Chains A and B, each alone.
Chain A
Amino acid sequence: MRLSKSWVIAKKDFKVFLKQKKILYSITVAPLVVSILIPTVIYFAGQNKGGRLPATELMVLLPAFAFFYLILAGYIPTTIASYSIVGEKVEKSLERLLASPTTDSEILLGKGISAFLPSIGAVLGGSVIFMVLMDLVTQPKLGYYYFPNWNTGLVFFLMVPLTVVMSVGWNVIVSSRVTDIRVAQQIGILLILPLAGIYVGGELNLIQLGETNTLLIIAGILFAVDLLLLYAARATFRREQILTKWK
């Protein structure tokens, strides 16, 4: 496989994305809103309790909040990958691309890179803003800066990339079945339901998201799902199938 070919395809997609307002909004606005909104809520949530939220409550909330970024990591590639693949179907440009001297894997990797890099950039960029603001809000109560720590490092640098890969794989499969970008996004976004479940479980203290072992188990599950979805995506993304069976 030649990475240079995949990179050419990814760079072309980046140029297309820059012209798509919806993609630009999903990459910038969603992470920014989440990253500013959560620390703001925490700041004001403590105001009617004679100061800020007690440290014990914060210790449950903060690790779970980091999981909110897994939801973002599932959501952002949905927008991008649907434009990247269904967009080619809508513009009927896939045949010309498939007729070029590139392999199916190179095209798929190019599409994966074009969905992966902006998503990772957006989520990690948002997470930095989140951690800085949250530290400013919680440090007076905790007496130390909670972020960064090893567990959030695991979330942001291991689980977020795994979730983005999972979302890209899922969206390739979804994109093969639909011909409308919005439908692709609506189905693609179903992926965030289990991620939202983990987040809610953490907030309700049903899952101990502050424990490294829990995080490693979730990461292991994500990795296994990634492998399955990537295998299925590769099986779906074959020239003949794209031209004769994709809707």
Chain B
Amino acid sequence: MDGDASRDFELPSMPAIEAVGLTKKFGALTAVDSVTFDVEEGEVFGFLGPNGAGKTTTIRMLCCLISKSSGQARIAGYEVGKEADALKIRKLIGLMPDNVGLYEALSAYDNLDFFGKLYDRTEAQRRENIQRLLTMLGLWEKKDVTVGTFSKGMRQKLGIACALIHDPQILFMDEPTANLDPESAKTVRDFILELKKEKRTIFLNTHNLDEAQRICDKIAILNTRLMATGTPEDLERSVSGKKTVVLLVQVTDAILAALRRLPLGNMTIDGNKLTFDVNDPDRENVAITDAIYRAGGQVRSVNIVGSTLEDAYLKLVRSDKT
């Protein structure tokens, strides 16, 4: 936001974030298992996964907060795990941890001013950035108010401002909308989209699939090891098969019995609505409707629904458990 002049490091033309076989073990427990991915400059990269999948551990390794057990990672060309590069990396990045981590006894302004000083911003830069960030996030009027009195949404927004006070080009956000009410979550999401327009590289940990789909250019699904990487559309396509939704006038036992005799995938029943997992809708839908008519049923509508990111996510995560 300050422009390039205020940055201490120019980003070379290479992936902003790079991980190859990145692994973290805590004793016998493998928290992150040989994860490989890269995030291009200006990209919003969503890191999806269930609780305990290793998302926070990965962020902590990339932010040089904890050591890696094996593998390699680079941030803007600087090597994670190399003592000489750790300070450079930390200076270059911003971190919004899963715990907002603010000083409750201090005002919003003092919190931001403190972090600005830690990142060697001059008084003028701090003043300018604090005003800009707090104004963008709708908190300027509350700048002198003690953070302890802030709502969860306000704290979350201030937490993001703290991560941006030094104008980092690479931002790590660990579940920034977790536990927020819908309005606050939308404000945070809109703000991330603003940052995306500024071509900042954003590494977003989340288990909010809708959020990931709306914001991210690329998504990785993690469950200790990396299950899949790609654009949201790639991941949706990666799930083989689609769904056929058949709305009937009435579901009877005879219809269900007839349908169960067909070699179809999973069938779910919701009132008069039947949903089938299908691989070849053109062929299988004929068999479905035919079976329904033969059993004396009447079809109101037949719809083919494509796979969603949620389908892809659930399929990958569940397949890993089995």
In chain B, positions 110-154 with a C-beta closer than 8 Å to chain A are 110, 114-115, 117-120, 146
B90 and A15: CB pair below 8 A?
no
Q: Is B317 an interface residue (CB 8 A)?
A: no
A16 and B118: CB pair below 8 A?
no
Closest CB of chain A to B115's CB: distance in Å?
7
Task: Give Cα distance in the complex from A14 to B213, angstroms.
Answer: 44
Question: Could you say which residues of chain A place their CB within 8 Å of the CB of B102?
Answer: 91, 93, 96
Task: Give Cα distance in the complex from A96 to B146, angstroms.
Answer: 19
Per-residue interface assignment for chain B, residues 87 to 102, with 1 indicating a CB less than 8 Å from any chain A CB and 0 otherwise: 1101101010101111
List the one stretch of A24-32, A35-43, A207-215, A238-246 in contact with chain B. A238-246
Q: Is A94 an interface residue (CB 8 A)?
A: yes
B66 and A240: CB pair below 8 A?
yes
User: Considering only CB atoms, which chain A residue lies closest to B120 in the complex?
Assistant: A101
Q: How large is the interface on A (under 10, 10 to 19, 20 to 34, 35 or more residues)?
A: 20 to 34
Question: Could you say which residues of chain A place their CB within 8 Å of the CB of B115?
Answer: 96, 100
B103 and A91: CB pair below 8 A?
yes
Closest CB of chain A to B117's CB: distance in Å?
5
Per-residue interface assignment for chain A, residues 89 to 103, with 1 indicating a CB less than 8 Å from any chain B CB and 0 otherwise: 001111111111111
User: Considering only CB atoms, which chain B residue lies closest to A91 in the complex?
Assistant: B104
Contacting B97 at CB < 8 Å: which of A8, A9, A95? Answer: A95
Task: Please count how many residues in chain B sit with their CB below 8 Å of the partner chain's CB atoms.
Answer: 32
Known A16-B103, A240-B66; contact A101-B26, beta-carbon cutoff 8 A: no
Task: Give Cα distance in the complex from A19 to B105, angstroms.
Answer: 6
Known A5-B118, A15-B110, A96-B95; contact A243-B104, beta-carbon cutoff 8 A: no
Question: Could you say which residues of chain A place their CB within 8 Å of the CB of B65?
Answer: 95, 98-99, 239-240, 243
Task: Give Cα distance in the complex from A149 to B106, angstroms.
Answer: 43
Q: Is B298 an interface residue (CB 8 A)?
A: no
Question: Could you say which residues of chain B place their CB within 8 Å of the CB of A98?
Answer: 65
Q: Is A139 an interface residue (CB 8 A)?
A: no
In chain A, positions 1-31 with a C-beta closer than 8 Å to chain B are 5, 8-9, 12, 15-16, 19-20
Q: Is B235 an interface residue (CB 8 A)?
A: no
Task: Give Cα distance in the complex from A143 to B36, angstroms.
Answer: 83
Known A92-B100, A96-B95; contact A16-B60, beta-carbon cutoff 8 A: no
A244 and B118: CB pair below 8 A?
no
Question: Could you say which residues of chain B place their CB within 8 Å of the CB of A96?
Answer: 95, 97, 101-102, 115, 159, 162-163
A101 and B90: CB pair below 8 A?
yes
Task: Give Cα distance in the complex from A52 to B65, angstroms.
Answer: 63
Task: Give Cα distance in the complex from A162 to B103, angstroms.
Answer: 30
Task: Give Cα distance in the complex from A92 to B65, angstroms.
Answer: 15
Per-residue interface assignment for chain B, residues 153 to 179, with 1 indicating a CB less than 8 Å from any chain A CB and 0 otherwise: 000000100110000000000000000
Closest CB of chain B to A235's CB: distance in Å?
16
Per-residue interface assignment for chain A, residues 29 to 57, with 1 indicating a CB less than 8 Å from any chain B CB and 0 otherwise: 00000000000000000000000000000
Known A99-B63, A240-B65; contact A12-B114, beta-carbon cutoff 8 A: yes
Closest CB of chain B to A103's CB: distance in Å?
7
Known A100-B90, A101-B91, A240-B65; contact A94-B101, beta-carbon cutoff 8 A: yes
In chain A, positions 64-113 with a C-beta closer than 8 Å to chain B are 91-103
Question: Could you say which residues of chain A place their CB within 8 Å of the CB of B60?
Answer: 243
User: Considering only CB atoms, which chain B residue lies closest to A19 in the complex?
Assistant: B105
Q: Is B308 an interface residue (CB 8 A)?
A: no
Task: Give Cα distance in the complex from A95 to B172, angstroms.
Answer: 13
Task: Give Cα distance in the complex from A15 to B147, angstroms.
Answer: 14
Q: List 16 A-B contacts (CB under 8 A).
A: A9-B118, A12-B110, A15-B106, A16-B103, A20-B105, A92-B99, A93-B103, A96-B95, A96-B97, A97-B101, A101-B87, A101-B88, A101-B119, A101-B120, A103-B87, A240-B65
B residues sitting closer than 8 Å to A (CB atoms) are: 26, 60, 63, 65-67, 87-88, 90-91, 93, 95, 97, 99-106, 110, 114-115, 117-120, 146, 159, 162-163
